[in-house]
């Protein structure tokens, strides 16, 4: 069956949802809806927060998942769509679940020797001072949230406990990750290739929710200023991290670089943002793909993988 078969029935764009990233998902979903409509596809927005969302999938031949966070990016929606017989964009159940869980992602990467920062899991009984003595300054984050939600830094036992309590409001556990002092990069993956890397600069303490989605002062460098050899290195590392989790079609890999020039993988996002501030459309533009072409390529690759 060819991609043209998708024009015979509506594409459901899943957006919104009930996670802490709902508002960003609504924006991403609208970007996708607009792009698909500009390409001549029939589009049906579907919000899983609505009671009748399953019935709204009836007659749809395909689903573009533009949901962020738990319930949309963690494998549960992917499993639901598979059970309903609706092919969808992006990674499958396993890749989605692993990538959403930062702790298990890092455990897997550590096991295969991929470069990732040191980390520990935190509980209410953690030795706060012992963690600081071992790792130094850390970033504390919920294991299963995105968009830097619930994330903060700590460089003392008291600050670490406060950061744990803040992150503990979200489900999925909490981890403390060793602070890497250096620039942050992101690499978008599309199919079997890495798009040009982007270097991020913010005046905030780190690239947090405000810097990602609200601030107009965040600086994005694409080209990122790396040499061709360094660009090849970060691309290879990003693809390794992406594939090792069983991810597919498209996504974004976030990395840091220390003072010695070594890159460290932070996390993989299987459904990155598609807003006006988002990074995958920016990287795609640097590779010569406008947003409609990017969206259609995601659909094509996903459709091919589902056949």
**Catalytic pick among 74, 254, 257, 278:** 254
**Burial class for 274, CB neighbours closer than 10 Å (0-12, 13-18, 19+):** buried
Residue 147 annotated in active site: yes
Residue 21 annotated in active site: yes
How many beta carbons lie within 10 A of that of residue 61, not counting itself?
Answer: 17
**Catalytic pick among 146, 148, 273, 302:** 273
For residues 15 and 26, is the Cβ–Cβ distance under 8 A?
Answer: yes
| DSSP β-ladder status, 11-14 and 62-65 | parallel
**Catalytic pick among 91, 269, 278, 302:** 269
How many beta carbons lie within 10 A of that of residue 147, not counting itself?
Answer: 20
Residue 273 annotated in active site: yes
Residue 41 annotated in active site: no
**Catalytic pick among 267, 278, 296, 302:** 267
| DSSP β-ladder status, 184-190 and 193-194 | antiparallel
**Catalytic pick among 252, 257, 264, 302:** 252
Q: C-alpha dihedral over 19, 24, 30, 31, to 10 degrees? A: -130
Residue 127 annotated in active site: no
Residue 267 annotated in active site: yes
**Catalytic pick among 207, 209, 213, 264:** 213
DSSP state of 4: G
Residue given tokens 């390794």 in the structure block: 240
Q: End-to-end alpha-carbon separation of the chain, Å?
A: 7
**Catalytic pick among 21, 145, 208, 296:** 21
**Catalytic pick among 105, 147, 153, 235:** 147
- Closest alpha carbon to 80 in 43, 48, 40: 48
For residues 270 and 96, is the Cβ–Cβ distance under 8 A?
Answer: yes
Tokens matching residue 184: 């942050």
Active centre residues (catalytic): 21, 147, 213, 252, 254, 267, 269, 273
């Amino acid at each position: 069956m060819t991609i043209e078969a998708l024009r015979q029935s509506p594409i459901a764009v899943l957006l919104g949802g009930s996670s802490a990233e709902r508002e960003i998902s609504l924006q991403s979903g609208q970007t996708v809806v607009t792009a698909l409509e500009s390409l001549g596809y029939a589009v049906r927005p579907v919000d899983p927060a609505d009671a009748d969302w399953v019935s709204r999938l009836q007659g749809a031949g395909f689903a573009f998942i533009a949901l962020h966070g738990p319930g949309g990016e963690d494998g549960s929606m992917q499993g639901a769509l598979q059970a309903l017989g609706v092919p969808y964009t992006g990674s499958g159940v396993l890749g989605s679940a692993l990538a959403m869980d930062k702790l298990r992602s890092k455990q897997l990467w550590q096991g295969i020797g991929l470069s990732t920062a040191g980390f520990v899991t935190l509980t209410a009984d953690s030795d706060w001072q012992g963690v600081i003595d071992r790792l130094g300054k850390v970033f504390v984050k919920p294991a299963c949230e995105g968009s830097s939600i619930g994330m903060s830094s700590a460089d003392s036992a008291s600050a670490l406990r406060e950061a744990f309590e803040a992150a503990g409001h979200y489900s999925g556990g909490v981890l403390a990750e060793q602070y890497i002092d250096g620039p942050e990069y992101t690499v978008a993956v599309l199919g079997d290739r890495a798009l040009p890397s982007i270097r991020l600069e913010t005046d905030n303490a780190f690239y947090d929710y405000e810097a990602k989605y609200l601030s107009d002062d965040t600086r994005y460098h694409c080209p990122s200023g790396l040499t061709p050899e360094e660009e090849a290195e970060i691309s290879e590392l990003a693809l390794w991290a992406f594939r090792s989790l069983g991810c597919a079609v498209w996504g974004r890999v976030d990395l840091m670089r220390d003072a010695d020039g070594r890159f460290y993988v932070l996390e993989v996002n299987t459904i990155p943002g598609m807003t006006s501030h988002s990074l995958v459309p920016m990287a795609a533009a640097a590779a010569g793909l406008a947003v409609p072409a990017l969206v259609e390529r995601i659909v094509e690759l996903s459709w091919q993988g589902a056949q």
